Amino acid sequence: MRFRTAAVAALAAGLLIPAGALAQAPSYPEPADPGKVTPRPSGKGKTRTVCKKGCKFKTIQSAVNKSKAGDTVKVKRGTYREAVAIRGAKKSYLKILGNPSAPAKVVLDGRDKKQNGFLVDGADEVTIRGFKARNYSANGFFFVNVVGYTAQDLIAAKTGVYGIYAFNSKGGTMRDSEAYYTSDAGFYIGQTPAQVKPIRSIVTNIESWGNPLGWSGTNMRYVTITTSRFYNNAVGLAPNAMDSEKFPPAEDNVIRENEIFWNNFNFHEGAPFKIPTEGNAVLFPVGTGVLLFGGRRNVVEDNEIFGNYAVGVAALEAFLLEKNPQARALEGNIVRDNRFGLGGQDLNGRELAYDGNGSGNCFGSNTGVSVTIPADRSTLAPCPFTGANTFNPGVQGEMIGLAGKAGVAKWIRHPHAPKQGFQPLELFTP
């Protein structure tokens, strides 16, 4: 236990500014209960067109300001240097349409001065399709305090915190989108209020690469992530529990049928964004496919996981929770039917790692499992499993040793199999 305590203290010392706190910087809207969904307006609504020349509306914001619930704003090609805010129930069901088949032709550029490309605050079921947002100091596309949204055919690049982000919201769809070179996570759903009859968020066909985290999910709930790719990040996906946001831990999420590979981006040595030197980002275990950092009833199944040098799937007690210690334990999480190592062609450093914390966690019917933490697999209970797992503090210490910059030294490298259209990213070179 001494080792464990020392490790926690060492890690906690690095947390000068939690990543979640970044998301709640003073100029962010205060989280509020999203409540019930705003009723759908009757009728088709009006359509307004935005373009650089020859249109009544030269900015997206001016068209949004004139729009009522259910209206449509069409945006023609060009680069718009603005930060669009869509606020309040009167803007619910708005559709903001760029070019869904070529999002890169309709660009919002924050030039590192503006905060969010699109901010949707308290307006339910807003659709944003067909845009690229780049160079924003916070997020590319940000939904907060809403019930339902659609983020589709979007590209977020070089944003200061997250690419596409939904916070304190119920339900929503992220699909057919890409995020890269963000300073924290490409995609993020966090602080989901607990619901007895939840509205699920569906995330499908997204690509996240070149980020410290492909997917971050602090205290995320009822999210299904499927048929997506997470590659060339430091960590592919990390549903996690943190004090920095309300409602820990992450619960009832499903991660299935994704490709999770080559997440070995050692951004500490160079990155196309401001390299985090403090906060949780410095602790991310570079080289990890999926990290369950605390959480309940999360399912990781039927994924292709290969070429991650630290570990394919890791499950670790959320020991950083100080204010909410009751939410630290892993409970009822299932890791099953995943295929590791691309049939032996592109091995992970280790396939599975689990400290044995909590109860009801199991690992079943995964293929290609060869190297694990612990090596004797004593914590890796097969599925189905009920009751307390076998906690091993030494194993937890070994897993903590994979965290941060220092963890890279503990990688187990293997050659990658070629993958058409993809190049591994370990060290960034401009």
Partner 1 sequence: MPDRSTTRRSFFGLSAGAAFLCTIGGQEVRLDDPNAADRADALAAQVPRPPGAAPQDALAFPTPEPQPGGRKREYWVQARTRGWDVAPTGRDDWHGRPIPGKRNFRALVYQLMKPGFAAPNGPPLMPGPTLYAEVGDTLVVHFRNAATTLGQALTMHPHGVRYTPDYDGVYLGQHTRVGGFIAPGEEFTYTWEATPDSVGVWPYHDHGPNHTLNTFRGAFGAIVIRERGAEPPDVEQVLFLHQLLPPFTGLPRAFQAINGCTAAGNTPTIQTRVGQDVALHVIGMDNDFHDFHIHGHRWKDAAGAFVDTPTVGPNESITARFVEDNPGRWLYHCHVFSHQDAGMAGWYMASP
Contacts with partner 1, residue ranges (CB under 8 A): 37, 148, 171, 196-200, 202, 204, 222, 224, 226-227, 253-254, 256-257, 299, 301, 384, 386
Smallest distance, Å, CB 93 to partner 1? 13
Smallest distance, Å, CB 28 to partner 1? 26
CA–CA dist 317, 82 (Å, integer): 42
Smallest distance, Å, CB 45 to partner 1? 17
Closest by CA position to 110, among listed 164, 159, 180: 159
Smallest distance, Å, CB 196 to partner 1? 6
Q: Which is nearer to partner 1, 58 or 200 (CB)?
A: 200
Contacts with 397 (C-beta within 8 Å, 6 or more apart), sequence order: 3, 4, 7
Query: Which pair of structure tokens corresponds to residue 63?
Result: 């068209």
Smallest distance, Å, CB 203 to partner 1? 9
User: Would you state the torsion angle of the CA atoms of residues 220, 224, 229, 232, taken in this order, to the nearest 10 degrees?
Assistant: 20
Q: Which is nearer to partner 1, 301 or 426 (CB)?
A: 301
Query: Which pair of structure tokens corresponds to residue 115?
Result: 């905060």
Smallest distance, Å, CB 77 to partner 1? 33
Smallest distance, Å, CB 224 to partner 1? 3
* DSSP class of 146: -
Closest by CA position to 399, among listed 342, 319, 322, 344: 319
Q: Which is nearer to partner 1, 266 or 366 (CB)?
A: 366
Burial tier of 315 (Cβ tally within 10 Å: 0-12, 13-18, 19+): buried
Q: Which is nearer to partner 1, 124 or 184 (CB)?
A: 124
Smallest distance, Å, CB 26 to partner 1? 33
Q: Which is nearer to partner 1, 51 or 299 (CB)?
A: 299
Q: Which is nearer to partner 1, 135 or 168 (CB)?
A: 168
For 286-350, give the DSSP string: TTEEEEEESEES-EEES-EEE--SSEEEEEE--TT-SS-GGG-SEES-EEES-EEGGGGTS--S-
Smallest distance, Å, CB 225 to partner 1? 8
Instruction: Give residue for tokens 């706190």.
Output: 21
Q: Which is nearer to partner 1, 87 or 256 (CB)?
A: 256
Q: Which is nearer to partner 1, 98 or 171 (CB)?
A: 171
Closest by CA position to 137, among listed 19, 22, 5: 22
The pairing of beta strand 116-121 with beta strand 95-97: unpaired
Smallest distance, Å, CB 146 to partner 1? 13
CA–CA dist 248, 219 (Å, integer): 5
Q: Which residues of 385-418 are buried (b: 16+ CB within 10 A; e: fewer)?
A: beeebebbbebbbbbbbbbbeebbebbeebebee
Q: Which is nearer to partner 1, 61 or 226 (CB)?
A: 226
Residue 302's identity, in one-letter code, is D
Smallest distance, Å, CB 140 to partner 1? 25
Query: Which pair of structure tokens corresponds to residue 89?
Result: 């129930």
Q: Which is nearer to partner 1, 79 or 227 (CB)?
A: 227
Q: Which is nearer to partner 1, 212 or 217 (CB)?
A: 217
Q: Is 250 helix (H, G, I), strand (E, B) or coil?
A: coil
Q: Is 239 helix (H, G, I), strand (E, B) or coil?
A: strand
For 348-393, give the DSSP string: -S-SEEE---SBS-EEES-BS---EESTT-TT-PPSS--SB----H
